Amino acid sequence: MKTNSQTFLFADLEAPGTPTRQRAHLTFKANRSLGRHNWLRLTPAYSRHLVEQLVSSLGSRDRVLDPFCGTGTTALTCAEHGIRADTVDINPFLVWLANAKFTAYTPEERAEAERFQTRLRLPTDKNGFWHPPLADIEKWWTEDELAPLSALFNSIKEADVSESARNLLFSAFCRVAIETASVSFGHQSMSFKPRNGDNGIVKTCAREQVSGLFRRRLTEILEAAATELDGSLAKAHLGDSRNLHTTLRAKYSCVITSPPYPNRMSYIRELRPYMYWLGYLQNGRQAGELDWQAIGGTWGCATSNLRRWQPSEDARVPFDGLDKMIAGISKRSEVLARYVHKYFEDCVHHFRSLARVLRDGAMAHYIVGNSKFYDEMVHTEEIYAALMRANGFQEVRIENIRKRNSKKELFEFVVRGRFSP
């Protein structure tokens, strides 16, 4: 494994050499007890601790960009430290969630949500309430679980509260929906788990358990919402990271981000339940089309679209080993070879657009992971370094920050450089 950096950003890492520990404090697991950061999990998210290390030298005159929003960790951490930040995502649900986290809630808005909780009484009737047209919804929730969830959602939707208070209520609802679903997050992506007596909600008291869980989660969210935060410092924008210059008007002195890795993990797939409940998806075709628009997306119709995709001469990836790597993957799977090739072509467009919104001297930090398809290693960190050099970045460095999982070849890196076109 190559690394061309002798300057390490993270004091707890062994240097020089290759880190061997997984370092959970750098992952989403470290956000579980960190207030607003814990409102909703996304498995690949990094932790506030990592961002804090990267912003330690920034001040109030800086403006940070995260072009791949996720759950908003970068921008929220910046706001907590008095630093302005913008973040962009192509997924409207993630934009909603991030802006809900960034809001400075007034005492009255929090009181509205609290009063809703106090008055909440879920009906015993199992019929009459809308639930989303999620395919095979019974795999997610039993009929006994779905009825109180639907009643709770309807109560929030019809509540006479402000938009900000409703956002707090829906944030708690999303937590309840995923915690009562028959899903597991034991792997890098969500998977279904078999139902037995120890999983899910006991059918005879589903209504009481949904009500109780909602109250507990809303209490946690209200406590976090009460923490002081300048709501003007961070904002999430709906946009495409390949066309940042059409979405953003500011110029940025720092980039801190973690783009999707080329590992076929679909964020749309993992976020489906929230997106269907809150109306961001109405059918599977929409999910697949959104995944196709996202960098690295390949789920549903996005996979079939890959079979027709062709590389463009206008977006050649500036990495000498790419053709050999693609050819190696293609021997086992043509569609996966196209997936990897398109992923890095999308990255070409991203970096070209990024250069148009940066200040001279801006620092960029990309947290990326390598991948392996069959016997072919995809050295994502080296390709990102090449992309940065080709788009005006100097002093480009790669730092290996942690081991990702049980596969000995897979690591996470920070690729960083200074923009000086």
Q: What are phi and psi of 331, to 5 degrees?
A: -60, -30
Give the mean pLDDT of 238-252.
97
Phi-psi map region of 296: left, alpha, beta (phi>0 left; psi -120 to 50 alpha): left
**Neighbouring C-alpha atoms within 13 Å toward the C-beta of 407:** 15
pLDDT reported for residue 9 = 59
pLDDT reported for residue 66 = 98
Measured CA to CA, the distance from residue 255 to residue 370 in angstroms comes to 20
pLDDT reported for residue 160 = 97
Residue with the larger pLDDT of the pair 126 and 322:
322
pLDDT reported for residue 187 = 53
Q: What are phi and psi of 47, to 5 degrees?
A: -95, 165
By percentage, how much of the chain surpasses pLDDT 90? 65
Residue-wise pLDDT for 196-208, tens only, equals: 544 444 444 788 8
Q: What's the CA dihedral at 283, 241, 190, 213 to 10 degrees?
A: -80
- What ranges do the domains of the chain cover? 24-88+232-266+279-419, 107-225
Closest by Cα among 14, 4, 76 to 403? 14
pLDDT-derived band at 263 (thresholds 50, 70, 90) equals confident
Residue-wise pLDDT for 357-405, tens only, equals: 999 999 999 999 999 999 999 999 999 999 999 999 999 999 998 887 7
- CATH T-level topology, domain 24-88+232-266+279-419: Rossmann fold (3.40.50)
Closest by Cα among 104, 97, 93, 75 to 234? 75
pLDDT reported for residue 15 = 40
Residue-wise pLDDT for 119-128, tens only, equals: 999 987 766 7
Assess whether pLDDT exceeds 70 at residue 28: no
Measured CA to CA, the distance from residue 143 to residue 402 in angstroms comes to 42
- Which amino acid, one-letter code, is at 185? F
Structure pTM? 0.90
Residue-wise pLDDT for 268-283, tens only, equals: 878 889 999 999 999 9
